[in-house]
Amino acid sequence: MGKAQSILVTGTTGMIGGLVLDQCLNSQDMQRVYGLGRRPSGRNHPGLTEFLMDDLDSLESLQIPPVDAVIFCAGVYTGAVPDQEFHSITIDYPVRLANLLLAKNSNLRFCLLSGAGADRSEKSRMIFARSKGAAENRLASILGDSFYAFRPAYIYPVEPRKEPNISYSLMRFLYPLVNAVSNKYSIKSTELAEAMVDVALNGCEKHILENSDILTLLNGQGVR
Give per-residue pLDDT as tens, 111-149.
999 999 999 999 999 999 999 999 999 999 999 999 999
DSSP string, 154-204: EEE-SS----SSHHHHHHHHHHHHHHHH-SSSEEEHHHHHHHHHHHHHH--
Give the integer Cα–Cα distance in Å for 16 and 4: 20
Q: Is 212 helix (H, G, I), strand (E, B) or coil?
A: helix
- Supply φ then ψ for residue 206, to 5 degrees: -85, 145
109 close to 200: Cβ distance less than 8 angstroms:
yes
Q: pLDDT for 153-211, tens place per residue?
A: 999 888 765 655 566 555 555 555 555 555 677 899 999 999 999 999 999 999 999 99
Count how many residues are written for the chain. Answer: 224
CA–CA distance, 75 with 181 (Å, rounded to integer): 29
For the chain, what is the total number of helices (H) and then of strands (E)? Answer: 7, 9
pTM beyond 0.75, yes or no: yes
Tens-place pLDDT, residues 50-93 = 999 989 999 999 999 999 999 999 998 888 899 999 999 999 99
User: Residue 224: its pLDDT value, please?
Assistant: 42
